[in-house]
């Protein structure tokens, strides 16, 4: 029954026009970035290498697909959560709004299964979005710009990864980025369990992300104790795979925190939905 | 007597004037001018603070008088004050005056220090000091100060291209004091050190270029340099 | 078997904050019943029905369906129930066929596409399989709701206002369908409706609730004494007619209502006789119609 309903959920997601907004928006955004880089990428590179160029010169193909993919990820990782929440924030509250939730909840499927199948469907949609992001940013960018060494600017300095040492970083990076986006998906579905309309959970999800991001970036001692536990602090963990050396312990800690968030949010949603009176 | 002394003074000054170019330097320039073009395989090892990069293989192309190209599959970090700047500067004697003095011992070689001073303000080079092996007519070490890049020290080593004065390795010492990270760079989430600037401890970086398999005067098309 | 209760509601109460929606409601529905669930707006009908479908948890009391409680066997219970609660809502962006597929997949029964098409045909939606619900009228959605209810062959059917928004033709079709389900398939049906005439025609048992409380429960025929019929009479000479009725039909309790009509209660087989007597007495009859008994009963019960 659980798998049947998960299949149902995916049919519903696939049938909604808003599900394609995310995919189309991503394609357009990445297309715009690729166009901009093709037209004037050297200016962007100069910004990165400016402080070194008094003394050093950089030879070789800096503006390659690997770098473009990195730039795209950096730019979009703030915006993609909205595209995720747009769909996943509607999964429960949208049904309440439509009235179909009472049809669903009066079937011989437990409320736990209903919620878990929605989480799973949301996770699959998020995965699809991540794969699409990966395909466009990495493979399409490589097709257009070619491939090569990857130059990454961190707050510690410039790191240049040989081409042969890039692929596995992206694979792990995308997996971790997926976990970050999954946390957004889970958060929006959890909020959706409390609402009767879709706008509330979507806007609230984005507001939480913005608030936590601001708290995380403020250099104020009073926030230092909570920063490590905010999921937004760990949403950029994917970048750590491009450090040298890779801070594995720190990455594992980020993954742990994100998993904890997912588990807790699912538990809250289950609790809320199971005890809720369905009056809509 | 007075007329003789005056004449001798003029002669001395004249000699001094006409004797501005160091003979060692002139000999070096003459040797370097025998290289019309070359291709060489390079292995670049950069040890520069705030830059992490593994060894990179590249191919260097050179053609008289100042065409130079680095061809690499990856990304190579090289000193801005490149391989041809110094040679280009000293090739034109009208650009400078040079003074010889006793140099230091480098790798067991008694060198002659040639100090090269530009004669006009249009040059990027402010001052160049070359420690030259007078017997083999090769540069052992150089210290060049430019307006654009500041001070650059290079140590030279040679093996089988001695006759052309082409080195087998170059060790560049880079001044990294001015390196700064743009503040808008996405922060390293795992960074605990709040400093985003070079803290001043490692102010020098080193780039070593190992050069092997020279192909000298084989003829290179200008197309390569486009 | 016929008197085995399929639904047993015992003293259920439900409050939303300080508002008591349902208070101490009890009734039972036997297997094979067409059970009328009546009450004015806001009586607590929908709340009670939602409790029967585990959409709402009562604060107290017990609900048993098929002899089990939700806590012991929710899945089995709901697999045997088909329901429409208030208006049937579907996924507007999906077709009729897709909607039924979705609900069939979680209904606990194996339903294939052929059966779905047959059901759509059954409810008069042939040719609309691929049409999106967005373009459906209310009547069409109601039909689709019934299709969804019956698709998995449930034993118990709960219909909350199934004829709302239907035209007279549609109302008759639903009534006939319900009768067929009862007589041909021995389904048990709990029917909540404002169409009292429909309840009176098809229900054999009923409960009336008001302000969250049970007022009366029992057999419809017993409660309404259906051997009798209430007549509304319009005549040209009211005094003469009243005198005639008092003499010929002394037990009929004739009364004059505010509209100048005579209301009287007769045995069913006396209606024709009344007409004959009035004509014989040369009293012109402009109208002789049975008044809905249940309506009268209902208003009296609610009013009390």
CATH code of the domain containing C60: 3.40.50.300
Let me know if chains A and B touch, i.e. at least 3 Cβ pairs under 8 angstroms: yes
**Model confidence band, residue C41 (pLDDT cutoffs 50, 70, 90):** confident
Q: Which residue has the tokens 């579905």?
A: A189
Of B72, B76, B179, the CB nearest to A51: B179
Instruction: Write out pLDDT tens, residues C202-239.
Output: 888 999 888 888 888 888 877 766 556 778 889 999 99
- Rounded to 10°, the helix C96-105/C138-150 angle is 30
ipTM over cut 0.85: no
Q: Report the Cα–Cα distance between both ends of chain A, in Å, rounded.
A: 24
In-domain check, residue A129: yes
| Pair C260, C169 in one domain | no
| Pair C168, C209 in one domain | yes
- Tell me which chain C residues have a C-beta less than 8 angstroms from the C-beta of A117: none
Of B179, B185, B190, the CB nearest to A250: B190
**Model confidence band, residue A59 (pLDDT cutoffs 50, 70, 90):** confident
> How many angstroms from the chain centroid is the CA of residue B82?
7
In-domain check, residue B191: no
**Taking 70 as the threshold, does the pLDDT of residue B185 lie above it?**
no
* Cβ atoms of residues A160 and A49 within 8 Å: no
Residue C86: give the domain boundaries.
5-218
Q: What percent of chain B has pLDDT over 70?
A: 78
**Is the minimum CB–CB distance between C74 and chain A shorter than 8 Å?**
yes
Nearest residue in B to A46, CA atom? B182
Q: How many domains does chain B have?
A: 1
Where would I find the beta strands (DSSP E) of chain B?
Answer: 37-47, 51-53, 56-63, 67-71, 75-79, 96-106, 109-118, 125-133, 138-146, 150-157, 169-175, 204-216
B48 CB neighbour count, 10 Å cutoff: 23
User: What burial class does residue C69 get, using C-beta atoms within 10 Å of its C-beta: 0-12 exposed, 13-18 middle, 19+ buried?
Assistant: middle
CATH code for the domain in which residue C292 is found = 3.30.70.100
In-domain check, residue C79: yes
Domain's final residue, options C218, C243, C266: C218
- Check residue A258 and give its pLDDT: 96
Nearest residue in B to A245, CA atom? B52
**Is the minimum CB–CB distance between C144 and chain A shorter than 8 Å?**
no
In-domain check, residue C223: no
Instruction: Write out pLDDT tens, residues C22-32.
Output: 999 999 999 98
CB contact under 8 A, B54 and A162: yes
Sign of the alpha-carbon torsion through C297, C298, C299, C304: positive
**Model confidence band, residue A91 (pLDDT cutoffs 50, 70, 90):** very high
CB contact under 8 A, B149 and A55: yes
- Tell me which chain B residues have a C-beta less than 8 angstroms from the C-beta of A159: 51-53
User: Quick one: tokens of C149?
Assistant: 């209810």
**Model confidence band, residue B4 (pLDDT cutoffs 50, 70, 90):** low
In-domain check, residue C40: yes
Q: Name the residue with higher pLDDT: A242 or B198.
A: A242
pTM greater than the 0.90 cutoff: no
Nearest residue in A to C47, CA atom? A279
The whole-angstrom distance between B7's CA and the closest CA on chain A is 50
Residue A103: give the domain boundaries.
2-275
In-domain check, residue A72: yes
| Pair C129, C255 in one domain | no
CATH code for the domain in which residue B160 is found = 2.50.20.10
Give strand pairing partners of A57. Answer: B78
Q: What percent of chain C has pLDDT over 90?
A: 35
Q: What is the mean pLDDT of residues B23-34?
A: 90
Q: How many domains does chain A have?
A: 1
């Amino acid at each position: 029954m659980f798998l049947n309903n998960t299949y149902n959920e995916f049919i519903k997601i696939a049938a909604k026009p808003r599900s394609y907004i995310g995919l189309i928006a991503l394609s357009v955004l990445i297309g715009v970035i690729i166009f901009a880089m093709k037209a004037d990428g050297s200016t962007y590179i100069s910004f990165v290498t400016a402080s070194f160029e008094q003394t050093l010169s950089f030879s070789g193909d800096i503006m390659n697909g690997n770098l473009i993919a990195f730039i795209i990820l950096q730019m979009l990782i703030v915006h993609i959560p909205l595209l995720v929440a747009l769909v996943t924030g509607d999964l429960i509250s949208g049904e309440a709004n439509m009235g179909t939730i009472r049809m669903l909840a009066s079937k011989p499927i437990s409320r736990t299964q209903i919620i878990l199948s929605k989480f799973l469907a949301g996770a699959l949609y998020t995965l699809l979005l991540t794969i699409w992001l990966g395909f466009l940013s990495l493979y399409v960018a490589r097709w257009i710009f070619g491939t090569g060494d990857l130059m990454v600017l961190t707050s510690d300095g410039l790191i240049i990864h040989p081409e042969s040492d890039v692929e596995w970083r992206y694979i792990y990076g995308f997996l971790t980025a997926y976990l970050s986006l999954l946390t957004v998906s889970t958060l929006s579905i959890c909020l959706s369990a409390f609402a009767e309309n879709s706008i509330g959970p979507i806007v609230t999800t984005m507001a939480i992300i913005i608030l936590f991001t601001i708290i995380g970036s403020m250099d104020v001692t009073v926030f230092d104790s909570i920063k490590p536990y905010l999921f937004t602090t760990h949403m950029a963990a994917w970048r750590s795979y491009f450090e040298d050396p890779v801070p594995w312990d720190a990455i594992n800690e980020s993954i742990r925190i994100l998993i904890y968030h997912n588990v807790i949010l699912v538990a809250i949603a289950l609790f809320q939905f199971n005890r809720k009176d369905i009056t809509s | 007597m007075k007329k003789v002394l005056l004449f001798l003074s003029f002669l001395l000054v004249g000699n001094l004037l006409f004797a501005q170019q160091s003979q060692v330097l002139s000999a070096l320039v003459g040797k370097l001018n025998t290289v019309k073009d070359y291709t060489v395989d390079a292995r670049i090892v950069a040890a520069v603070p705030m830059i992490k990069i593994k060894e990179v293989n590249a191919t260097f192309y050179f053609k008289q008088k100042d065409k130079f190209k680095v061809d690499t599959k990856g990304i190579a970090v090289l000193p801005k004050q490149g391989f041809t700047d110094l040679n280009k500067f000293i090739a034109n004697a009208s650009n400078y005056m040079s003074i010889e003095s006793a140099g230091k011992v480098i790798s067991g070689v008694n060198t002659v220090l040639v100090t090269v001073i530009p004669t006009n303000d249009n040059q990027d080079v402010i001052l160049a000091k070359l420690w030259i092996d007078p017997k083999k007519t090769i540069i052992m070490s150089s210290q060049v100060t430019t307006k654009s890049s500041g001070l650059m020290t290079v140590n030279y080593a040679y093996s089988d291209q001695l006759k052309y004065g082409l080195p087998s390795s170059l060790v560049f010492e880079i001044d990294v004091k001015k390196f700064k990270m743009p503040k808008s760079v996405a922060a390293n989430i795992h960074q605990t050190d709040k400093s985003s600037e070079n803290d001043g401890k490692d102010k020098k970086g080193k780039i070593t270029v190992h050069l092997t398999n020279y192909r000298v005067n084989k003829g290179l098309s200008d197309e390569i340099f486009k | 078997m016929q008197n085995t209760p399929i639904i047993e509601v015992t003293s259920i109460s439900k409050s939303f904050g300080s508002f008591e929606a349902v208070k101490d409601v009890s009734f039972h529905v036997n297997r094979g019943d067409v059970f009328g669930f009546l009450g004015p707006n806001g009586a607590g009908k929908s709340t009670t029905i939602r409790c029967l479908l585990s959409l709402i948890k009562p604060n107290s009391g017990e609900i048993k369906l098929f002899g089990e409680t939700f806590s012991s066997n929710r899945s089995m219970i709901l697999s045997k129930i088909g329901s429409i609660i208030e208006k049937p809502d579907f996924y507007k962006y999906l077709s009729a066929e897709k909607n039924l597929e979705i609900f069939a997949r979680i209904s606990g029964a194996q339903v294939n596409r052929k059966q779905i098409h047959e059901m759509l045909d059954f409810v008069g939606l042939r040719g609309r399989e691929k049409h999106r619900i967005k373009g459906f009228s209310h009547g069409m959605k109601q039909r689709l709701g019934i299709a969804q209810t019956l698709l998995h062959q449930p034993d118990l059917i709960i219909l909350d206002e199934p004829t709302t928004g239907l035209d007279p033709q549609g109302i008759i079709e639903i009534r006939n369908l319900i009768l067929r389900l009862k007589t041909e398939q021995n389904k048990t049906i709990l029917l909540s409706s404002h169409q009292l005439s429909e309840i009176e025609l098809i229900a054999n048992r009923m409960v009336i609730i008001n302000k969250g409380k049970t007022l009366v429960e029992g057999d419809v025929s017993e409660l309404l004494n259906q051997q009798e019929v209430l007549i509304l009479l319009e005549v040209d000479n009211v005094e003469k007619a009243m005198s005639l009725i008092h003499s010929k039909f002394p037990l009929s309790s004739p009364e004059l209502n505010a509209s100048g009509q005579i209301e009287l209660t007769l045995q069913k087989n006396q209606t024709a006789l009344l007409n004959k007597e009035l004509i014989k007495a040369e009293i012109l009859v402009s109208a002789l119609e049975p008044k809905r008994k249940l309506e009268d009963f209902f208003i009296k019960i609610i009013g009390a």
